[in-house]
Chains A and B, each alone.
Chain A
Amino acid sequence: MVKNRDKRSERFKEFLAEAEDILNSMARDLVRLGKGVKAGIIDPTVLNNVFRSAHTLKGVSGIFEFKNVSDLSHSLEDTLDMLRLGRTALTDDVLDSVMSAHELLVKIVASKGDGNFNPEVSHLKTLLARTLETKKPAAKAQIDKEILSALTEYEGHRLRENLKEGRNILVVNVKFPVTSFDKSYEALIETLKNDAELIATLPSSGPDPGTLYFELLVGTLKDSPHIADLVKGFSQADIRVLKGPSAKAPVEESRPLSIRKTAIETLRRDSSTVRVDIEKLDHIMNIVSELGILTSSVARLSAELKSSASTSVYGIELSRVEKYLERKFSELRDSVLDVRMVPIGRLFGRFEAFIERLAKETGKEIRMVTNGDDTEIDKLIVEELADPLMHIIRNVIDHGIEAPEERERFGKPRIGAVTLSAHQKGNHVVVEVKDDGRGMDEEFIRRKAVEKGIVNREFIGRMSRQEILDLIFIPGFTTADKVSVTSGRGVGLDVVKENITRQSGIIDVDTLKGRGTRFILTIPITLAIIPALLIEAGRERYALPLSSVLEIIELDRDVLGREEVLGFVKLKKRKIPCVRLSEFFGSPPSGSDGGACYGVIAGLASHRLCVIVDSLLEELDVVIKPLPDMLNVPGVAGATDMGEKGTVLVLDVTGILEYLLNNRKVFKKAEPLSL
């Protein structure tokens, strides 16, 4: 009885994904464009790319009647068209409007169509419309009218630009056999690219019907023999100089160029990638995990057969098959996991424009450096990382990096550096945001924490340096004395920590006054399939993700005492608060007295917690399924379906620690922990 799935909403999701991609590539091009404007060189290819992105976005959003997006991208397209045709000068102001429009588009797409952006859209549309008014005087054409008439407006503009820059304008006559035309043409364009700009490709004519003739209009700083040399390899490439320092007038026999250029288009795409909805991958992952359950059933069966004398022959045979099955199964699982992985560099790339804009807003000079772009991480986690990283970067730019003058006074380079790096460490990826700014002042944090009543005065004196630094992640703690435009209100590092914790990650901070700060995020590579330990506590079974466990220790039940919910265990001379899982969850008591039980050590920043469980059963790989919203309780990350073994909850021990920290049950009476 499946309800009619809204087909449109499926396609709408695809549209959102596509729009996101378009906007991402537009962001990259805009950054390059911005650099170009600063340097005074505008790369027409980049400008063209941005224009094309806006155009495509307008098209796809139109289909979905996503009015805000299609309206705004339309205005953007108009402006970009004027820019690329050279009718409007690309000034800083114009670039700003274009960038703001892009930013708003990102915002609207992220909102998935909810929310009202009408005032902002119409404001930007006005801004963009204004850019159209700043006309740029067209360079006087010194070229044959006949040729000009064959060119599109854009080509005409590029021709004028080339003339303005004093380049030689050449007409290269080429012919290709029809059969190998597209390959040869592309190869020729590739050859020319470095030394010349291809302004236009004009179809021409010749005697042989099996051959295609073209005239390539080329602008170059090189002389014609050089270009002739380049195109020598291509069949019949003779060159005529149309305009150059040597030849002032258009040259003699010019064949009439009356035919309009026909666009050389191909629908074939170079990229052989497939875009897949992550939900579909999740579905495959589900099947894979069910296969895993079946595989272990086969293993059990073969063991049973082997143990009985009458069937042991079959058992041995079956176990051989089962070994092979298992190998193939893990190959399958690994490749499915691999499909979900994306290089983190893509995420880093998104911050380039963001950092540039923040630098501008705060009047600072900042460059972004990235390391380990190739490090692969689950697509879903990448998305979850985007916001926390953005907040950290905001923080760094706002509070970390000094103004250029201040930096110079301290003998630092004017331009501050924000370094984003990543590397793999076992089943985790370590992502680091490092700056070379002023660092954090420990004393200042102490003072602030006392002022805000987060920690009392006598207690703070006994806290370690790491504990002091961890205070910045506590809700309500913000070191900025005034609210800034960039960091804004409300979104503090506590939210960042919460987000990272939700991904079973850990965030740490390290700082050196005057030298800079490092935020270190340790995140599991994937959440799709995770190694877990099946444990029992209070007669209930739970899956414990190994990634969230620092250590498991064996404890003596008698030593712990039975009544107290919270006590302490000593581990490496450190007193660690502990909590019984069954008490925390209100499960029925285990019944077993005495004997061994186990302590699972969880960590959050410098805090540690020992969660006591009754027994450790087996290690297995599980697929975590989220629980519905109404069941979001501290300590539970989700559930996993283990087939005939039933459904068990997946523990979130870090969540338990966090819950206790927030409720201050353990840590009020705990003496300060030292590392």
Chain B
Amino acid sequence: MRNDDGNEGKADMKDESQVNAATDAGGSSSTVPTMENYARSLAHAASGEEMTLIVTFFLEGDEYAFDVTDAFEVLKPGRLTRVPNTPGFIKGIISVRGEMVPVLDIKRRLGLASSSTDYAHSRVMIAGTEDHKAGFLVDGVGGVKEFKARLFRPSGKDGGFLKATLRTDSSFIKVLDIERLLDMEGR
């Protein structure tokens, strides 16, 4: 949304290489909207194999994901407006086309140590439901990826913020539970 033309190109390159790596791995494919991919997804549908789409992102070098239906868009962090007297993991608000959306430091929410407090190279991933959404500060975005549904290992009731995990030959992705992340009662 906002223009901050810095050295963003580099980060994007990195993201892309990871997308490609994931594509090479068995069972996954990056879904760039090409005719080829469209044909492939049709083929999947025809074969009856259930597929799941996720949007992945990076936190401290690890790959995480939301269900594709939980994510809305990715923005560059512009100026965040601080809201006083809120929990520390709430970094402020941004206006997304006039709608005020809270921005959360997802690392702090997950209890991960943060190596930097510089958000200039971060991205804000807007996720949640139409009425209840938030922006999450992430280190980089992996992209939309498609995997066979049976590869996901649900983490059960006491998984905390973790909804499922996915292990392939080349990657280990943690799928997060957006509802629990946004549930402030349980903080």
Contacts and interface: CB of A to CB of B under 8 A. Distances in A.
A586 B85 contact: yes
B82 A639 contact: no
A648 B134 CA distance: 18
B124 to A, nearest CB: 13
Interface in A608-648: 625-631, 633-636, 638-639, 641, 646-648
Given A628-B101, A628-B132, A631-B102, A636 B79 contact: no
Contacts of B90: 630-631
Nearest to A3: B130
Contacts of A1: 68, 71-73
Interface centre among A2, A628, A646, by most chain B C-beta atoms within 10 angstroms, is A628
B81 A647 contact: yes
Interface in B6-47: none
A479 interface: no
B83 to A, nearest CB: 5
Contact of B79 (A584, A585, A587, A647): A647
B184 interface: yes
A48 interface: no
Interface string A1-21: 111010000000000000000
A149 to B, nearest CB: 59
A424 interface: no
B98 interface: yes
A625 B99 contact: yes
B95 A636 contact: no
A299 interface: no
Contacts of B133: 628
For chain A, what secondary structure do more than half of its interface residues adopt (helix, strand, loop), or is it mixed?
mixed
Interface in B49-90: 68-69, 71-73, 78-79, 81-86, 90
Contact of A625 (B73, B78, B98, B134): B98
B151 interface: no
Given A540-B82, A636-B84, A286 B98 contact: yes
Contacts of A2: 72, 130
Nearest to A584: B84
B112 to A, nearest CB: 20
Given A586-B84, A627-B100, A639 B72 contact: no
B94 interface: yes
A639 B86 CA distance: 15
Given A625-B99, A630-B90, A639-B93, A649 B79 contact: no
B84 A626 contact: no
Interface string B169-187: 0000000000000101000
Contacts of B95: 625, 639, 641, 647
Contact of B83 (A286, A625, A636): A636
Contacts, number: 78
Contacts of B129: 3
Given A1-B72, A5-B130, A647-B94, A639 B101 contact: no
Contacts of B78: 646
A286 B182 CA distance: 27
Contacts of B100: 625-628, 631, 638-639, 647
B83 A649 contact: yes
Nearest to B101: A628
Contacts of B84: 584-587, 633, 635-636
Given A1-B73, A5-B130, A638-B100, A631 B81 contact: no
B75 to A, nearest CB: 12
Interface in B124-168: 129-130, 132-134
A646 B73 contact: no
A587 B78 CA distance: 20
A628 B128 CA distance: 12
Given A625-B100, A647-B100, A648-B81, A633 B93 contact: no
A635 B86 CA distance: 12
B102 to A, nearest CB: 5
Given A1-B71, A1-B73, A626-B100, A633 B82 contact: no
Contact of A631 (B68, B83, B98): B83
Given A647-B81, A649-B81, A630 B98 contact: no
A627 B99 CA distance: 9
Given A625-B100, A636-B84, A641-B98, 9 more contacts: A585-B85, A586-B85, A627-B83, A628-B101, A628-B133, A630-B90, A631-B83, A639-B81, A639-B100
23 contacts: A1-B71, A2-B72, A286-B98, A540-B82, A586-B84, A587-B84, A625-B95, A626-B100, A627-B83, A627-B102, A628-B102, A628-B133, A630-B86, A630-B90, A631-B90, A633-B84, A633-B85, A639-B81, A639-B95, A639-B100, A647-B95, A647-B100, A648-B81
Interface of A: 1-3, 5, 286, 290, 540, 584-587, 625-631, 633-636, 638-639, 641, 646-649
Q: What 7 pairs between A and B have smallest CB-CB spacing?
A: A585-B84, A641-B95, A647-B81, A630-B184, A633-B85, A286-B98, A647-B95
